[in-house]
Amino acid sequence: MNKEQLERAIKDYSWMIREIKRQRMMLEEDIGSKLVVASGVEATLPRAKGAINDPVGKEVIRRDKKSSWLAKLEKKVLFIQGRLSAIEEPREIAVLECMLDGMTISAISKHMGLSRKHIYKIKETIVDRMLQFTQSSQ
């Protein structure tokens, strides 16, 4: 993951956690759901070549895509969580926690009583340390 991707993942962390919870809940509910294939006249009609005209087949494809997307979100979240120990300074920890909770730079600035420019510098330091942690652990 490069610097821009890591910054984006930190910024998106809060909604990704909520989305992972929601998607897992949906997938767990879907496991017990019943799907019905076409019956009657619809089952005897010819189907177009190369296209899935079966609602069950389409649902399987949709769930597979959802599962793949969920795995990508989990990978990003785990990447960040695996590097939290790289941040040890109290101010950096506070800024990182605020960012992971979904706060904006302006909100963090007001919350901590520091300038936005100072918060940006702290954010840059956090990202750099997380990237260094990545390189040193490989």
As a whole number, mean pLDDT of residues 76-83 equals 95
The per-residue pLDDT for 43 is 57
Where is pLDDT greater, at 99 or 62? 99
Contact 2, 134 (CB under 8 A): no
Task: Identify which of 5, 7, 1 has the alpha carbon closest to the alpha carbon of residue 122.
Answer: 7
Mean pLDDT of 61-81: 91
Answer whether residue 62 is part of any domain.
no
Q: Please indicate, yes or no, if residue 57 is contained in any of the structural domains.
A: no
The amino acid present at 51, given as its one-letter code, is A
Stretch (H or E) spanning 97? helix 90-100
DSSP-based three-state secondary structure for 18: helix
DSSP character for 60? H
Task: Domain of residue 15: give its range.
Answer: 1-33+77-132
Contact criterion met (CB below 8 Å) for 39 and 56: no
Asked, for residue 112, whether it belongs to a domain, the answer is yes
Instruction: Tell whether 82 is covered by a domain.
Output: yes
* Contact present, 102 and 14 (Cβ < 8 Å): yes
Q: What is the pTM of this model?
A: 0.75
**Tens digit of pLDDT for each residue in 14-34?**
999 999 999 888 877 765 555
Mean pLDDT for 84-88 is 95
Is 106 in contact with 116 (CB distance < 8 Å)? yes
CA atoms of 18 and 123, how far apart (whole Å): 23
Residue 117 is assigned to a structural domain of this protein: yes
Q: Please count the structural domains in the chain.
A: 1
Domain membership of residue 59 (yes or no) is no
Angle at 23 between CA 21 and CA 25, to 5 degrees: 70
| 92 part of a folded domain | yes
Of residues 42 and 129, more confidence is placed in 129
Q: Which pLDDT score is estimated for 73?
A: 95
